A = this chain, B = another copy of it.
Amino acid sequence: MAIAAVSTSATQSMTGADRLCDALLAHDVDVCFANPGTSEMHFVAALDRQPRMRCILGLFEGVVTGAADGYARMRDKPAATLLHLGPGLANGLANMHNARRAHSPMINIVGDHAVEHLPLDSPLTSDIDSLARPMSRWVRRIGDPSRIDHDVAEAWAQSMAPGISTLILPADMAWNEHVYGSDLAHGKRLPQTPLEQETVARIGAAIRAKRKVVLLLTGAALRERPLWIADSIRRATGVEIYAQGTNGRIERGRGRAPIAKLPMTHDGGGALLRDTDMLVLIGAKEPVAFFAYPNRPGRLAPPSCEIVRLAGPDQDLVQALEWLADEAGAQVERISDVPAATAVPTSGGALSVDAVNRLVAARLPEQAIICDEALTSSGFFELSYDAPAHDYLQITGGAIGIGIPMAAGAAVACPGRKVINLQADGSGMYTVQGLWTHARENLDVLTIVFSNRSYATLWGEMSKVGAQTPGRNAQRMLQLDQPELGWTKLAAGLGVEASRVTTVSEFSRALDAALARRGPYLIEAMV
């Protein structure tokens, strides 16, 4: 990695923790989602000396890493996280998994015991390096205080590649003082692999030969401009375009080219791809089924389909689309040819998932940010192409419990914008503590809980495995009633105002009221 030097104040003695903090700020990493412990207190003290760093507490580490993911998706740069030893890291891994699948940049600072203390195997000792690796792109244990700024520079560069960088900070590396020079290392972005013009030509030839070509997009290809490029290619040539099944962020709504997501099922995505001759991956992976089922193929494209990787997530996806538009002779125009959405009911009886999603889509504030962990209560995305312009963030890695934290991170990233989290109830429970962070930071987040009192996904799966009449054990593992979760009480206990609604009219009124105010609110929608 190329590293440039940034001139700071004169040579001075400071702790490694202070140097680490300076180095993060030098890379414009100025938000730290934190759940610190004893071994990180010198770093906490260093953060305390740097008011430019905004420190945001999560009451559980899954909140911390999920918030860092939401922040990164909206800002295209990493936040820092501060995690306490192996168990603290472990608690944050599930949402790191989602961040990894969203290609989000993130820089984890994980405290560890002092170097001499580590072999004593005191109770909180664990193998942090091994725990970090599966979810990290890059892991380093800080071992030379004089190189801390270089470690941060590389952590930053690796995170922008993009991916998750984990820096393990032994306590003595934080507390020891050193005399540092006036230069501070600054990371440079890793060089991108160049695109291959011959791949573009190959795709162009297939299009001209009237073969059935499908473009599969994710990552930066799902922002406003590249989406219009892709849509223009579609209109000019007849190729089909889809977003990957799960994506970190889609710029969506009126003024943006509509795009469907390719369902990650054999009956869904597999059927759509049935006669495809060439599948072009633009940041995306080859589409596969989310889960395996007996006697069902895992790959969704037919065996005869040629799969062409035009660009990977570490390449320039916008340029890839521009080259392809040129090759295909497509003029880039912003022409939406989809019909307007159907009318929305605003009153009536029992509340349904569909009514919630339609009302939210219709009433969406301009430039809202949607976080979608609705799972079996989903349906918003299909309606949202015709909603006001917004950003759409979804669970990417299937590790449930991202919604509430991701909403927190998105709200920190974009203070002027309303964040709406569409939240399944079972999933919301994994990181319910994040509501407290909504309240503590007075974040402008509306959480809408689809309360169906079950792991509804799993009831569907139970029938697929041929269980006719689920017995006591299955019911005890899949039902969330007995007792019912009381989301308004949970929210109140965490400092967030809330209301429970059971009819369309009630939801409509509650939604209007929630959108008219700023700050955190929760609607428990009984569906």
Tell me if A55 is interfacial: C-beta within 8 Å of chain B.
yes
Q: Is the CB of B121 within 8 A of A483?
A: no
- Which residues of A from 23 to 47 have beta carbons under 8 Å from B? 34, 36-39, 41-42, 44-45, 47
A429-B433, A465-B41 in contact; A51/B486 too (CB < 8 A)? no
Q: Is the CB of A60 within 8 A of B430?
A: yes
Q: Is the CB of B117 within 8 A of A126?
A: no
Q: Is the CB of B91 within 8 A of A62?
A: yes
Q: Is the CB of A462 within 8 A of B44?
A: yes
Q: How far is the CA of A466 from the CA of B42 in the complex (A)?
A: 9
A123-B396, A489-B490 in contact; A473/B48 too (CB < 8 A)? yes
Q: How far is the CA of A470 from the CA of B48 in the complex (A)?
A: 7
What B residues does A176 contact at CB under 8 A? 294
Residue among B49, B88, B126, B291 making CB contact with A471, cutoff 8 Å: B49
What B residues does A477 contact at CB under 8 A? 34, 36, 44, 47, 55, 57, 82
Q: How far is the CA of A299 from the CA of B85 in the complex (A)?
A: 20
Tell me if A171 is interfacial: C-beta within 8 Å of chain B.
yes
Tell me if A134 is interfacial: C-beta within 8 Å of chain B.
yes
Tell me if A337 is interfacial: C-beta within 8 Å of chain B.
no
- Which residues of A from 453 to 475 have beta carbons under 8 Å from B? 457-458, 461-462, 464-467, 470-474
Tell me if A241 is interfacial: C-beta within 8 Å of chain B.
no
Tell me if A426 is interfacial: C-beta within 8 Å of chain B.
yes
Tell me if A122 is interfacial: C-beta within 8 Å of chain B.
yes
Q: Is the CB of B97 within 8 A of A94?
A: no
Q: Is the CB of A117 within 8 A of B289?
A: yes
Tell me if A56 is interfacial: C-beta within 8 Å of chain B.
yes
| Min CB–CB distance A473 → chain B (angstroms) | 4
Which of A254-262, A319-327, A366-374, A492-500 contacts its partner? A492-500
Listed residue (A48, A133, A401, A429) with the most chain B CB atoms within 10 angstroms of its CB: A48
Tell me if A288 is interfacial: C-beta within 8 Å of chain B.
yes
Q: Is the CB of A93 within 8 A of B94?
A: no
A44-B477, A124-B397, A474-B44 in contact; A116/B291 too (CB < 8 A)? no
Q: Is the CB of A298 within 8 A of B116?
A: yes
Listed residue (A62, A85, A97) with the most chain B CB atoms within 10 angstroms of its CB: A97
Tell me if A363 is interfacial: C-beta within 8 Å of chain B.
no
Residue among B117, B292, B401, B472 making CB contact with A171, cutoff 8 Å: B292
Tell me if A140 is interfacial: C-beta within 8 Å of chain B.
no
What B residues does A493 contact at CB under 8 A? 485-493
Q: How far is the CA of A61 from the CA of B488 in the complex (A)?
A: 23
Listed residue (A41, A467, A471) with the most chain B CB atoms within 10 angstroms of its CB: A41
What B residues does A432 contact at CB under 8 A? 432-433
Q: How far is the CA of A326 from the CA of B521 in the complex (A)?
A: 69
The chain B residue with its CB closest to the CB of A120 is B288
What B residues does A288 contact at CB under 8 A? 117, 120-122
Tell me if A207 is interfacial: C-beta within 8 Å of chain B.
no
Tell me if A480 is interfacial: C-beta within 8 Å of chain B.
yes
Tell me if A484 is interfacial: C-beta within 8 Å of chain B.
yes
Tell me if A318 is interfacial: C-beta within 8 Å of chain B.
no
Write out, one digit per residue, whether chain A residues 167-184 have a CB within 8 A of any chain B CB (1) or not (0): 000011001100000000
Q: How far is the CA of A398 from the CA of B39 in the complex (A)?
A: 12
Q: How far is the CA of A169 from the CA of B174 in the complex (A)?
A: 41
Residue among B39, B44, B286 making CB contact with A291, cutoff 8 Å: B39
A493-B487, A493-B490 in contact; A465/B56 too (CB < 8 A)? no
Q: Is the CB of B57 within 8 A of A476?
A: yes
Write out, one digit per residue, whether chain A residues 487-519 have a CB within 8 A of any chain B CB (1) or not (0): 111111111000000000000000000000000
Q: Is the CB of A97 within 8 A of B122?
A: no
Tell me if A70 is interfacial: C-beta within 8 Å of chain B.
no
A57-B476, A474-B45, A484-B495 in contact; A131/B50 too (CB < 8 A)? no
Q: Is the CB of A59 within 8 A of B397?
A: no
Listed residue (A124, A396, A493) with the most chain B CB atoms within 10 angstroms of its CB: A493
Q: How far is the CA of A480 from the CA of B49 in the complex (A)?
A: 21
What B residues does A86 contact at CB under 8 A? 93, 97, 134
Residue among B94, B131, B245 making CB contact with A87, cutoff 8 Å: B94
What B residues does A397 contact at CB under 8 A? 87, 123-124
Q: Is the CB of B299 within 8 A of A120?
A: yes
Tell me if A195 is interfacial: C-beta within 8 Å of chain B.
no
Known: A41-B464, A45-B466, A93-B131. 6 other contacts (CB 8 A): A82-B477, A117-B291, A126-B135, A171-B292, A175-B465, A484-B495
Can you sample 5 A-B contacts with CB below 8 Å? Answer: A57-B477, A120-B288, A120-B289, A488-B493, A490-B494
